[in-house]
Structure 1
Amino acid sequence: MAPKIKAILETPVYVDDLERAHAFYHGLLGLSRMVEGDRIHAYDVAPGQVLIVCLRGACDADAEINGQRVPGHHSIGPAHFAFRIDRHDLEPWSERLAAAGVALESRVNWPLGGTSLYFRDPFDNVVELATAGIWPNDPLDS
């Protein structure tokens, strides 16, 4: 039996301009930047959860950190990831996105009771804001 995995720690997204990405992820979504480099920016999403914004092409090759190899990585085409929000924040988020000129592509009411808002970042990645009740292991709050 495999040892238990506790959580997803990092989610990468690949972009073509780190400063433009910062304007979106910090300016619009309100995430605090913890690391600023020429290849990546890392944002605090929640305790123990990190969004890594990677400059497309800059992370393809292996990197050396403290004399140790970090394998290169990349993604081709738009990615998708979701941030958790509270149900009472669905409308405030819809209004904030609209005020910023960010088109809401879809609003999905899931069979288990959760709701998702879908939109794109400036690099065509699909961003989702989701309440509890999307997945069986994340039921609606009672």
Structure 2
Amino acid sequence: MTSAPPPPLSGILEAALYARDLDAAEGFYSSVMGLERITRLHDRHVFFRVGNSILLIFNPDLTVEPPHNPDMPVPPHGAQGPGHVCLSASAGQIDQWRDRLVAAGHPIEADFRWPNGARSIYFRDPAGNSVEIAEPRLWFET
């Protein structure tokens, strides 16, 4: 018996990183990265708009707890240790990001070109998560 292929997915709606110090995470992603904060719930989470996606920053100590609101039965989840997210920018914008991050005290861990010629820079957020900014052509032909 052959099943039909699944319907196509159109993209990633949200991605999550984890940080115990949400004040530091909010300051970094709002001030240094310039992302629009869309919501914060005490010390549990803070969410940001990134283009057509949402970056979720959760406190890992609180997301492992069962839900307390029966109208929002999100299962417990979480991760330990640094995660990774890659944001996209043009080649010229990557130079601007590099300068901005260094000036804000966030050193660049790596700056290189992939075999297909796309450039990436890597740095850390205050929680130690690995953040990458790369040209979209890393994965998609432009």
Unmatched 5+ stretches in structure 1 = none
Which residue of structure 2 lines up, in the alignment, with residue 133 of structure 1?
A: 137
Q: Is the 2:82–2:129 contact (alpha carbons within 8 Å) kept by the matching residues of 1? A: yes
Which residue of structure 2 lines up, in the alignment, with residue 40 of structure 1?
A: 45
Q: Is the 2:66–2:75 contact (alpha carbons within 8 Å) kept by the matching residues of 1? A: yes
Residues 1:126 and 1:32: Cα distance change in structure 2 (over 3 Å): same
Structure with higher RCO (Cα < 8 A, 6+ apart): 2
Residues 1:66 and 1:86: Cα distance change in structure 2 (over 3 Å): farther
Moved over 6 A (4+): none
Counterpart Cα distance in 2 of 1:119 and 1:30: 16
Query: Greater strand percent: which structure?
Result: 1
CA shift, 1:89, in A, is 0.7
- Are 1:27 and 2:31 matched, yes or no? yes
Structure 2 letter corresponding to 1:43: F
Query: Aligned pairs, how many?
Result: 137
- Are 1:97 and 2:75 matched, yes or no? no
Percent of aligned pairs with the same residue? 31
Which of 60, 65, 78 matches 2:64?
A: 60
Question: RMSD of the TM alignment (CA)?
Answer: 1.3
Which of 9, 12, 29 matches 1:8?
A: 12
Q: Is the 1:118–1:128 contact (alpha carbons within 8 Å) kept by the matching residues of 2? A: yes
Unmatched 5+ stretches in structure 2 = none
Query: Greater helix percent: which structure?
Result: 2
